[in-house]
Amino acid sequence: MDNLENNENMNENIDETNENINEEAIDEAYEKEIEAEKLVEFDGESEGMELSKVEQEYGADEIQVLEGLEAVRKRPGMYIGSTGPRGLHHLVYEIVDNSIDEALAGFCTNIDVEILPGNVISVKDNGRGIPVGMNEKMGISTVTVVLTVLHAGGKFGGNGYKVSGGLHGVGASVVNALSDWLEVEICQEGKVYKQRYEKGHTCYPLKQIGTCDIEKTGTKVTFKPDATIFQETTVYDFDVLKTRLREMAFLTKGLRIILRDTRVEDDTHENAQIQTLLERAYEDRENEDSENMEVFPDDEKEREEEKEELKNKKERVMEFYYEGGIKEFVTYLNRSKEALYENVLYFEGTKNNVYVEVAFQHNDSYTESVYSFVNNINTPEGGTHLQGFRNAITKTFNDYARNAKLLKDSEANLSGEDIREGLTAIISVKIEEPQFEGQTKQKLGNSEARTAVDNIVSEQLTYYLEQNPNIAKTICEKSILAQRAREAARKARELTRRKTALEGMSLPGKLADCSDKDPKNCEIYIVEGDSAGGSAKTARARATQAILPLRGKILNVEKARLDKIYANAEIKAMITAFGTGIHEDFDITKLRYHKIIIMTDADVDGAHISTLLLTFLYRFMPELIKQGHVYLAQPPLYKLEKNKKVWYAYSDEELNKILEEVGRDQNNKIQRYKGLGEMDAEQLWETTMDPERRILLRVNIDEETESEIDLTFTTLMGDKVEPRREFIEENAKFVKNLDI
């Protein structure tokens, strides 16, 4: 009966129109929509307004009406952010979000996500199933309404779901609009229903195709992204989906999410990479004259068997189930760090109709890793729930430190940054009517969320600290050390701030600056070593290209406190050169170069230096990355000379392509570059620095998976060896151009 009542409620929550329904229903729905949106009415004359000629001509005939899902296909970026890989994967998230909403309502325990051959996606859950009854207002089945009408579903009237996720609330209808085809199957009341759509258009009315167990319910959505929309790629990345689905499982305690990849080799990035390496190995061995080299089998049957074995190895299944919810999330994020105390602190409660969950644990690192969510939606810019958490722990720990005499009366209070040093925390709230700042829901604005989080965390944390004095003392002592280091860092920071000429501080002596003073035209190369730096200084375009050579490897900021970081000469040189300041002094408007280009050797040491630099920028100047100012230079790997002609290849694939064009013979002279120092200034300009010919990779941050990015940096640059070994073993098969 509950299921039937919910179905009826969801049917009543639809208030949009669709091209597939009759004209009377369209007119009726349209009139109601217009009435609802008349929030402000005014008379132009009474307000003393004068209409210009252009405004007077702006009438009914100038308005273009896009019916049904045409608007989505016309401007897909407005609904899913982009038509690149991020938007492609977002289609999956929107469908999964609908299943998550069922789980939050207490009706779904399992979600199966499968990547099928041809990069078709299937999402199946055991929730109540989308209602199959006729929607009286629309005159069509509710399933059809949900999948063909924007803003249709149980989320919009307030009766279907108390809380719901999804990025924009447009969900399944947008996925349908941007798919080459989509099929939905629903199990309800012992019957199985099915409907198919192509490019958002209904192929046939909802129909019953079979029967099922009377107790079985759920929805299965299968779709294939439209290649005319997603022109960049339609290939799904297993690891990207894995990261997001794991996060969803952590945030929904007791929900089981299974991700399967059943694609054949050609359908995946990974298999394509491995297959390329395998074929290259065959080719190299066949062309090798040495008798000492192992001969690969020539038998076609044996080759096919190897390919089949490869395929089978690459079929992957990942299962995510976390009974501990966000407590296990914190443990997962801290796995590459040394926790200061054994147990993860966990607090939960409800206040002002806001359900609050908070879990945190301190570790021995010096960086803060705090992530906030609203109805399972990531809020990278935080909001009121994050403010409430910060207020609570700052006040509570200061009160405890005073009462326990860990802080003297003469000493200043601990700052929030001091207390949060080495903190990994998850703040998750469920709220009925979330109010976000901005369309992309990156920052929560509900004031009641701040109060709820603050009160619940303050009260429960106070009790916890009183009952666990040893843990409380450990946290306070770390915070006091952080306070002292921060004060030392403040003094050191004064030396790194870029001052004006009147203040007498100049740019770093080893910086070869550019003559153009417009940051939009300027770029700076961070170069590994004085040798490559010398070549770069000779090669550069002096007007717009600055060169900053680094001596050796910079400090690993993952293992150093703030005062040590400010004292490092190489880091000080970069901070001063960039002009933005650092940490709380950071001001991106003072950036002196709109392109910061990391240029290192194409070997293991070069990769290590790049990672060190990226770690520093990510931890202390993340806005540079977020706004697209950071790049990686791509120097060539090979130089090919033949008949006094020269070609440069940036990958093995490109080299093979060139060799196919010019021919493979004894006249080929191939040089494998191991470092930038092997190039003279002319070659360096020609291959790596000339804006007309160079290849640059822009560094981006996907804020939706920022917790996984944080974990990657910690794994690679942290103290624990075992997580780093696991990372290397997992990714070793994708390594190319390894210099050994």
In this structure, the chain runs to a length of 740
Q: For residue 76, give every residue at least 6 positions away whose Cβ sits within 8 Å of its Cβ, in sequence order, or none.
A: 83, 87, 177, 178, 229
Structure tokens at 504: 């007498």
Cα 466–Cα 472–Cα 477 angle in degrees, nearest 5: 145
Is 330 in contact with 250 (CB distance < 8 Å)?
Answer: no
Name the catalytic one among 261, 570, 601, 710: 601
Q: For residue 35, give every residue at least 6 positions away whose Cβ sits within 8 Å of its Cβ, in sequence order, or none.
A: none
Is 351 in contact with 429 (CB distance < 8 Å)?
Answer: no
Cα 524–Cα 530–Cα 532 angle in degrees, nearest 5: 70
Give the C-alpha separation, 279 to 265, whole Å.
Answer: 13
Is 538 in contact with 682 (CB distance < 8 Å)?
Answer: no
Name the catalytic one among 267, 523, 528, 710: 528
Give the C-alpha separation, 737 to 714, whole Å.
Answer: 25
Residue 690 annotated to the active site: no
Q: In 3D, which of 452, 471, 427, 456 has the Cα closest to residue 329?
A: 427
DSSP state of 67: P
Give the C-alpha separation, 409 to 582, whole Å.
Answer: 31
Give the C-alpha separation, 193 to 132, whole Å.
Answer: 8
Kindly list the distances between the CA atom of residue 629 and the CA atoms of 400, 524, 626, 701, in Å, as whole numbers in the listed order.
Answer: 43, 10, 8, 12
Is 599 in contact with 525 (CB distance < 8 Å)?
Answer: yes
For helices 300-314 and 269-287, angle between their N-to-C axes, nearest 10 degrees: 150
Is 137 in contact with 157 (CB distance < 8 Å)?
Answer: no
Give the C-alpha separation, 108 to 90, whole Å.
Answer: 21
Give the C-alpha separation, 433 to 438, whole Å.
Answer: 15
Q: State the DSSP H helix or E strand holding residue 260, giving kind and residue range, or none if neither.
A: strand 256-261
Residue 680 annotated to the active site: no
Pairing outcome for strands 423-431 and 369-374: parallel
Residue 12 annotated to the active site: no
Task: Using the structure block, give the residue that is written with the tokens 């199946």.
Answer: 124
In the chain, the N- to C-terminal Cα span, in Å, equals 68
Give the C-alpha separation, 179 to 181, whole Å.
Answer: 5
Name the catalytic one among 237, 270, 399, 603: 603
- Dihedral (Cα; 715, 721, 725, 727), 10-degree rounding: -10
Task: Residue 375: count other Cβ atoms within 10 Å of its Cβ.
Answer: 25
Residue 528 annotated to the active site: yes
CB-count exposure of residue 438 (10 Å: 0-12, 13-18, 19+): exposed
For every residue of 270-324, DSSP letters joined together read HHHHHHHHHHHHHHHHHH---TTSPPPP--HHHHHHHHHHHHHHH-EEEEEE-TT
Name the catalytic one among 306, 605, 623, 739: 605
Coil vs helix vs strand at 248:
helix
Catalytic residue list: 528, 601, 603, 605
